[in-house]
């Protein structure tokens, strides 16, 4: 004899990021599941580590290039010196750009912890996990981004 019990699932809707008072400038957000948030976090952390490694690599290459330039600067004329200065500046701006990207991802992770990351700034819809993984600094969903670009 089987007693069929009425299945009463308690699907408690979890409010993950309770909107704090005072932050009323962002549009209303749809809920994102904890699993999605974790996926984003994992993608961001992977990205950050990748960028950090790239940055460290570039920095050591730059240091090496700089050493080479210093060791063979004997007999340089002004044009050589100018080229070297230019190269040096290029390297610095490259390194700064990379560091900037690392910082962007770090900020994204902070905002993710606060619950303020991954929503379109324009329409308030959640930005797909895949898009955030590819572009951690994305602040617009694809639709809004296309609208922006068309203007």
Cβ atoms within 10 Å, residue 94: 14
Contact letters for Zn ion, residues 92-131 (x by CB under 5 A): ----------------------------x-xx--------
Burial label for 56, CB within 10 Å (0-12, 13-18, 19+), is exposed
* Residue 138: CB minimum distance to Zn ion, A: 10
Q: From CA 122, how far away is CA 144, in angstroms rounded?
A: 7
Q: Minimum CB separation from Zn ion for residue 132, in Å?
A: 13
- Smallest distance, Å, CB 140 to Zn ion? 6
CB of 32 to Zn ion, least distance (A): 14
Shortest CB 27 distance to Zn ion, Å: 9
Q: Which is nearer to Zn ion, 17 or 144 (CB)?
A: 144
CA-to-CA distance for 120 and 141, rounded, in angstroms?
A: 5
Q: CB within 8 A of 102, min separation 6: which ones?
A: 48, 51, 52, 55
Interacting residues of 18 by C-beta distance below 8 A, sequence separation 6+ = 115
Backbone angles phi, psi at 69, to 5 degrees: -65, -40
- Residue (109 or 126) nearer to Zn ion, CB: 126
Name which of residues 2 to 21 contact Zn ion (CB under 5 A): none
Name the residue nearer to Zn ion (CB basis): 59 or 144.
Answer: 144
Q: Does 144 contact Zn ion by CB under 5 A?
A: yes
**Interface with Zn ion (CB under 5 A):** 120, 122-123, 141, 144
């Amino acid at each position: 004899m089987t007693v069929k019990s009425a299945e009463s699932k308690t699907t408690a809707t979890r409010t993950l990021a309770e909107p704090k008072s005072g932050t009323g400038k962002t549009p209303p957000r749809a809920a994102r599941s904890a699993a999605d948030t974790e996926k984003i976090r994992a993608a961001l952390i992977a990205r950050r580590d990748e960028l950090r490694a790239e940055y460290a690599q570039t920095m050591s290459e730059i240091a090496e290039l700089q050493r080479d330039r210093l060791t063979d600067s004997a007999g340089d004329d002004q044009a050589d010196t100018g080229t070297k200065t230019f190269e040096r500046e290029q390297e610095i701006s490259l390194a700064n750009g990379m560091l900037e990207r690392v910082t962007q991802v770090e900020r994204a992770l902070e905002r993710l912890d606060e619950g303020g990351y991954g929503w379109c700034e324009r329409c308030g819809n959640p930005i797909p996990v895949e898009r955030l993984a590819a572009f951690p600094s994305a602040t617009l969903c694809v639709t809004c981004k296309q609208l922006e670009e068309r203007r």
